[in-house]
Amino acid sequence: MADVHETAEGWFRDPFGVHEDRWISGGRPTKLVRDGGVEGSDEPPPGPMPTLVSIPPPETAPDDTPSLDREMVDTAMETTTIYSPPS
């Protein structure tokens, strides 16, 4: 059975604490990092790999989120004029 570090793939909290997140590929840290949703590049520091911490999933919308009014969308689509410049 493979260790989680050997198979980890994706965004994880930066195990080195330098950035918010770091891309892990095949259980190894890469130079791809993310801070405040902005991706960048920064080689991982030398030394042993600390424990990985997964990123929590994004919050899901509550069940009472209003759904799209299909009739309103259909009406808008029927009354919308698409402009085509003359050829």
Other Cβ atoms less than 10 A from the Cβ of 72: the count is 9
Nearest C-alpha neighbor of 53 from the set 20, 6, 86, 87: 20
Tell me, yes or no, whether 16 lies in a domain: yes
What is the span of the domain harbouring residue 4? 1-56
- Number of domain units in the chain: 1
For 7-27, the pLDDT digits (tens) are 789 999 999 999 999 999 998
Tell me, yes or no, whether 42 lies in a domain: yes
Distance between CA atoms of residues 43 and 41, nearest Å? 7
Q: Which residues of the chain have pLDDT under 70?
A: 1-5, 57-70, 72-85, 87
Distance between CA atoms of residues 36 and 28, nearest Å? 22
User: pLDDT value at position 83?
Assistant: 59
